[in-house]
Chain A
Amino acid sequence: MFSPNDTPSTQNEPIITVRDLKIAFGSKTQATPIVHGIDFEIHAGQCLAIVGESGSGKSVTARTLIGLTGANAVIQAQTLQLRGKDLRRNSDRAWRKVRGADIGYVLQDALVSLDPLRPIGREIADSLRIHTNLSPAARTSKVLELLAAVGIPEPEQRINQRSGELSGGLRQRALIAAAIALDPALLIADEPTTALDATVQQQILDLLAERKAAGTALLLISHDLAVVGQLADRIAVMRQGEIVETGPTAQVLGNPQHEYTQRLLRAVPTDKPRGTRLAPAGAGISARQHALIGAQRAKSETGDPTVPVLVAQNLRKTYRNPDGTPRVAVQNVSFALNRGQTLGIVGESGSGKSTVARMALGLTAPDAGDVRLLGLPWSTLSEKQRRPQRKHITSIYQDPLGSFDPQWDVARILSDALPDSESLTRSERRDEVIRLLETVGLDASLEARLPLRLSGGQRQRIAIARALAPGPEVIICDEPVSALDVSIQAQVLDLLDELQREFKLSYLFISHDLGVVQHVSDEIVVMEAGRVVEAGRTTEVFSNPAEEYTRKLLAAAPRLHTVPIGEKA
């Protein structure tokens, strides 16, 4: 074959050996250490998963293995060997020979890791052009083989398409095809499924498992313990540049020794009943707030508690494709959200979830059907009539940073959301802002910060505070925790749960993550291609799905197959 790596190594020699790897950024004298001396090795046909949250150093470690750590990185290691060959003193030219040929690397952002201006066939053929002497025709036929091997349908057509014409799953397959073109001994996959829908995620994991079975050593980088559990033989848990625990998968997931691993596992929402705390107690509503909120709530109780707060009936929305043909985004969607409850909407990307959210918020007018809020007409109102009522329904999004004015500090973001902001004095406004910050478990000193200077978890808390400011009945949560690390996600979910009970809030909770939806929802609606395929009590839908699509979705969701550890810690 074309691969230069055909000579099989002896079985007991690892493909990659790393001893005491230290990575720092900065100059030689003033370097900030990122990775503090880690060890691991991977044998042929084995998979090691490095698990950790953002900033743990896992991606930097992966990049170091192919010599792409970055311009001002300082790297030290006792051993850094690929099949017995020292990588530490590699020149640029030597690294280029390793990359793509001996080590394949699948980058984190599947959606943007292919050049949008070049056909994917050319991108995949690049590996062959760089490392072999194949003729262009031979490269093309090899690329077709690779496309078929990674399960891309109609390879003869796809080879000429560009990444913009392909779905996320197909892009990730194309990237994997490029990475395995020369059958490298080691394949590194950095968060290979993060941006993908559940069913597609499963297909990519199967594909990686296939490579492992074929004898490739696999290094999997992920924040998702459930994904890792399926594929990895061994797991290394990384935190702040150190491996805190390492061992066989079953042992790490089933009987975690380190406190941090236990915390990570506890933060996974899947299969945890509603109301179970996911994070250690701490950043919740302060005691002072409990008293204040109770008093305020008593006098602001509105409407009949038996009437559902938000009702959608036979919603329909059609958009036009660029070529003029109609595309039905949502059809015949009905649901009712009861006071103090959470209604989850699950579906894959393009299923119409977000269009439903926009119609519920009165931002998009339905083509047919209507939405009623607190028993009164809502979607049929003019925007002028709707505006005074907007305080009853607010929203939280996946990307809070994009929903903040970057020039506004936290105090201005929050006071702007107060419905009576104009009539308040400066000190009253400041009191309100601090009250909101305390409610979402943030320190009052954050009021002067700009959004860019906040962490991801803090930003989402500010977004929640802003949604609370007008005193709403309903909050539309559109993928509110999808961009967060699992332990931060746990804290935010706990906070939402606590706020719901304190304020009798009703949530319309939209997510592609079945585990999260299962944990938070009283009832769920499953959407596919703009239609509701199944709806009902969460426990019933999850334990006894009636529809084929729901079963498929549930089967594809990765979950931890271990004994529950909730009681242990």
Chain B
Amino acid sequence: MSLETLNPTPSNPAAVSETTDSTASSSRLTSVLRLSGLRILGAAGVLWAVATLAFFAMRLVPGDPVDALLGGPGNNATEEVRELTRELNGLNEPILLQYGAYLGKLVTGDLGDSYQLREPVAQVLGDQLGNTLVLAILALATAWVLALGLALWSARGGRTATLVGNLLEVVSAAVPHFWLGSLLILVFSVSLQWLPATSGAPGINGLILPVLTLAIPLAGFLGQVMRESMLTAMNSPFAISSRARGESEVSLSLRHALRHAALPAIGLSGWAMGSLISGAVVVETVFARPGIGRTLLQSVLVRDVPVVLGVVVLVAAIYIIVTLLSDLAERLADPRLRAA
């Protein structure tokens, strides 16, 4: 029998669905915009708090910033020179006045000058930021690919695959960056001599090992989360319904389970980006690669206060932006969040 006999066919379905689509997406847009507005206000508050904490924390660190201004702790400057330097840099002022001046400059985007390099901090960081971001973004993408592959393979396989997948994930999630980096250097640079041990030179070869060092622990972590939600999706009533329509297992995991698996991982990616940048401190040091992380380490050692503060504020800003982006991505990927 045919269905037309039961009910008349709608005359022009395509035209109607077009108009309803646009109203739905415009209301979706306003809700996203309202959310973004609230989040931007919150972000400004977080930045202020981070900048303040970092400012006062740096005062608590033992040692005199004048040493950094005069070329390091071992300088032979006379007491007059030191006093003059203090005065010139406003270090004699009461601390609250210094804080006020710092905040005032920060609002206008001025991060001050580096004590050691005698360059604006913005420029110092600007030169290094690109390197670190390339590293972190490539590591995040690699971690996603590894985690998805592992989750798809082990969720569909039998008990052995589940066991192996689980073991791989737990082990790689638990490996520390400095150890993994050293191991990769030993295997691929020293023994096999396939890849360079340092990452200073341009080109993709120097990036492979640092990216893997950052990506593997993260992949283990994301993989665990993905496989868990993928298994839940594959055993849920809607998956059984889909099988009852004749769907194959491969198609089921790609069309249904993959999105369910990706959702929690999208939410975690904001956090992951933050952890990648802190991981970069170690990895950039191990692979002698220029970047924010190595700059931070060096500046802390010589008490280059403006640079340290700049890095802290910059990393906080990146963290906020990435979290915001991952929240928005989550809402775009999950219709249930938009409805609520």
Contact = CB atoms under 8 A, between A and B. Distances in A.
Q: Dominant SS at the B interface?
A: helix
Interface string B139-159: 000000000000000000000
Among B6, B259, B333, B339, the one with the most A-chain Cβ atoms within 10 Å of its Cβ is B6
B248 interface: yes
A37 interface: no
A567 B326 CA distance: 67
Interface in B191-247: 236-238, 240-247
A149 B1 CA distance: 13
B17 A156 contact: yes
Given A149-B6, A214-B1, A118 B256 contact: yes
Interface in B154-174: none
B7 A107 contact: no
A301 interface: no
A145 B246 contact: no
Interface string B1-43: 1111011111001001100110010000000000000000000
A148 B251 CA distance: 28
A99 B260 CA distance: 24
Contacts of B333: 117
A102 to B, nearest CB: 10
Contact of A113 (B1, B8, B10, B238): B238
A160 to B, nearest CB: 7
Interface in A154-171: 155-157, 159-160, 162, 164-165
A145 B4 contact: yes
A123 B2 CA distance: 21
B334 A117 contact: yes
A148 B238 contact: no
A125 to B, nearest CB: 10
A144 interface: yes
B245 A126 contact: yes
Given A145-B4, A148-B10, A157 B20 contact: yes
Given A145-B7, A148-B7, A162-B335, A155 B245 contact: no
Contacts of A113: 237-238, 240-241
A211 B209 CA distance: 63
B339 A156 contact: no
- Interface footprint category on B: 35 or more
Interface string A115-145: 1111000010011001100000000110011
B241 A107 contact: yes
Contacts of B256: 115, 117-118
Interface in A82-119: 96-101, 104-105, 107-109, 112-118
Contact of B242 (A109, A112, A115, A322): A115
Contact of B336 (A101, A116, A183): A116
A376 interface: no
A1 interface: yes
Nearest to B34: A323
Interface residues of A, number: 49
A112 B238 contact: yes
B107 interface: no
Interface in B294-313: none
A126 B248 CA distance: 11
B335 A117 contact: yes
B340 interface: yes
Contact of B244 (A107, A155, A156, A215): A107
Interface string A60-83: 000000101000000000000000
Nearest to A117: B259
A367 interface: no
Nearest to A108: B237
A148 B240 CA distance: 25
B242 A126 contact: yes
Contacts of B247: 96, 126, 130
B22 to A, nearest CB: 11
A218 interface: no
A564 B69 CA distance: 100
Given A107-B240, A117-B334, A157-B20, A140 B13 contact: yes
A373 B2 CA distance: 61
Nearest to A122: B255
Contacts of B236: 112
Interface string B276-317: 000000000000000000000000000000000000000000
A123 B237 CA distance: 13
Interface string A423-459: 0000000000000000000000000000000000000
A97 B243 CA distance: 11
A148 B245 contact: no
Contact of A100 (B17, B245, B255): B245
A210 interface: yes
B241 A157 contact: no
Contacts of A112: 236-238
Contacts of B21: 160
Most buried by A among B3, B248, B263: B3
Contacts of A175: 241
B3 A160 contact: no
A253 interface: no
Given A156-B10, A156-B16, A162-B335, A178 B241 contact: yes
Contacts of A183: 1-3
Given A130-B247, A322-B340, A155 B10 contact: yes
B9 A144 contact: yes
Nearest to B16: A156
A309 interface: no
Nearest to A102: B246
4 tightest A-B CB contacts, nearest first? A100-B245, A105-B244, A100-B246, A156-B16
28 contacts: A68-B240, A96-B246, A96-B248, A98-B246, A100-B245, A105-B241, A107-B237, A109-B237, A113-B237, A113-B238, A113-B240, A116-B238, A116-B336, A126-B247, A127-B245, A141-B9, A144-B13, A145-B7, A145-B10, A148-B7, A149-B7, A156-B10, A156-B13, A156-B16, A159-B17, A162-B335, A179-B245, A214-B6
Given A126-B245, A155-B10, A155-B13, 16 more contacts: A68-B243, A96-B248, A107-B241, A108-B237, A117-B259, A123-B242, A127-B245, A141-B13, A144-B13, A145-B7, A148-B8, A148-B10, A156-B20, A160-B20, A164-B339, A179-B244
